[in-house]
Amino acid sequence: MESTVTLDKVARQAGVSSSTVSRIINGTANVSAAKRENVLRIMSELNYHPNVLARGLASGRTMGVGVLTQDISSPFYGSTLRGIEGALQGTGYHPIFISGHWHLQEELEAIDFLLSRQVDGVIVLGGGVPDERLQEVARRLPVVVLGRSIPGLEDQCLRLDNFAGAYQATRHLIELGHRTIAHIAGEPSHRDAQDRVSGYRAALESVGLPFNPELVQPGDFHEAAGFLAATRLVESRILFSAVFAANDQMAYGVRLALHRKGLRVPEDVSLVGFDDLPGSMYTTPPLTTVQQPVEDMGRAAAQGMLRLLRGERAEVQRMDVRLVVRESTVRRRSS
């Protein structure tokens, strides 16, 4: 184990005080060019790297931004994390990721973890942490929330118009002549899932189509649920010519179930998803879906955070959703 190089050692080597070295590192005051040069040289000679802990302890700022996500391996949140990462890049701030696994207790602990790590701000991606807790945290440090709207923190919350997305998706199917459109719903406790059902329903009603509860199957945002739901639908002999799945992962499941039942997409059944996961461009056929600007959302959240850290307002904007028409939807065959 090599001994660690401290700022003091650098100072001694350079024949200056540690404050001077600190000033040079932080650019916090004027230092004569000669000394700066010299110190800089010695720093790199000794391969000095400041101890972030000591720095954080002394200054009260750690340059860390905590990011509470639900699943580090989720294809959906992945791009958002990447967006956050990208926006923070080069700002001196670094993201610190931690997952809550859709589990309240874990989420709460994750927040405590971040706080005890003295992060300078927290970005929360969805999840179920009570509004009150987030409000509390927001009183202590900058907070930006994605996918939820917290009373009193509206300015720091970035939401997506799930209703509009679902509405567009369903309208698209209607405009292709579909009249019996099934919906595979998402995890019932999720606000997003509820909004998508509402959007679906509103679209039907906007053209006077009946809302048939039998056509709405419960799901949970995972492939298996889509598979099961579509299987049930086919086996129950309810007629439908199109399916709107509340997310792409379930759409994949639906796709496979239809395939197993000998139904072709899009010839026999049109299929729309929601999210536009990276893989949806490469399914067979490529999936028509509602695109969420997930990476942009991450970027926007991080930029809002940077603004808060600068003492400005977050001013994160509501992000728009858009339907990407690919090949899984087609005009209904006149039968």
Partner DNA sequence: TTGTAAGCGTTATCAT
Partner DNA sequence: ATGATAACGCTTACAA
Contact residues for DNA, defined by CB under 7 A:
4, 6-8, 15-20, 22-23, 25-26, 28-32, 34-35, 48-51, 54-55, 57-60
- The Cα–Cα gap between 94 and 106 comes to 22
Task: Specify the residue, 22 or 80, whose C-beta has the smaller distance to DNA.
Answer: 22
Task: Specify the residue, 34 or 237, whose C-beta has the smaller distance to DNA.
Answer: 34
CB of 47 to DNA, least distance (A): 12
Q: How many CB atoms lie within 10 A of CB 122?
A: 26
Site for a copy of itself in 270-289 (CB under 8 A): 278-279, 281-286
Binding partner at 180 among DNA, a copy of itself, none, C-beta below 5 to 8 Å by kind: none
Task: Specify the residue, 54 or 239, whose C-beta has the smaller distance to a copy of itself.
Answer: 54
Applying CB under 8 A, which part among 21-29, 43-51, 176-184, 192-200 lies near a copy of itself? 43-51
For position 256 contacting a copy of itself by CB under 8 A, the verdict is yes
- The Cα–Cα gap between 202 and 155 comes to 28
Q: Are the beta carbons of 219 and 246 closer than 8 angstroms?
A: yes
Buried b (16+ CB within 10 A) or exposed e, 84-119: bbebbeeeebebbbbbbebeeebbbebbeebeeeeb
The site that binds a copy of itself (CB under 8 A) totals a number of residues, namely: 50
Inter-helix orientation angle 7-14/18-26, to 10°:
110
Q: How does DSSP assign 88-147, residue by residue?
A: HTTSS-EEEEEE-TT-HHHHHHHHHHHHHTT-SEEEEES----HHHHHHHHHHS-EEEES
Binding partner at 293 among a copy of itself, DNA, none, C-beta below 5 to 8 Å by kind: none
For position 239 contacting a copy of itself by CB under 8 A, the verdict is no
- The Cα–Cα gap between 87 and 214 comes to 45
Chain residues that interact with a copy of itself, rule: CB under 8 A: 1-2, 49-54, 56-57, 62, 71-75, 78-79, 81-82, 85, 94, 96-99, 112-113, 115-118, 139-141, 223, 227, 252-253, 255-256, 259, 278-279, 281-286
